[in-house]
Amino acid sequence: MTVHDDYLISIGMKTNVAKTEFTLFSRKQLEQPPFLEVKGTKILPTGTIKVLGVKFRWDLSWDDHYEQIRKGP
């Protein structure tokens, strides 16, 4: 993450730690999930991540996305 953050700075951008998140996709849920460290802040993986309006779950199930569509805006 340090290399990535340095690259962003070099092109005039910066990392917003408050909006930074990640998900690990796996068949089994990990007992001790790894974390990323960005600017001294630990970022733990989330179970669901939303990208361009589509919700992806760690186990690649579509249940969360279907629920969101069913509820509507």
Condensed to tens digits (0 to 9), the pLDDT of residues 1-44 reads 788 888 988 999 988 888 888 888 887 777 777 888 887 888 88
In a domain, 49, yes or no: yes
In a domain, 10, yes or no: no
Residue 70 has what pLDDT?
81
In a domain, 34, yes or no: yes
In a domain, 3, yes or no: no
pLDDT digit string, tens, across residues 39-60 = 788 888 888 888 888 888 888 8
Give the span between the Cα atoms of 56 and 29, in whole angstroms: 15
Residue 12 has what pLDDT?
94
Token reading at 65? 């996305």
In a domain, 14, yes or no: no
Give the span between the Cα atoms of 33 and 10, in whole angstroms: 31
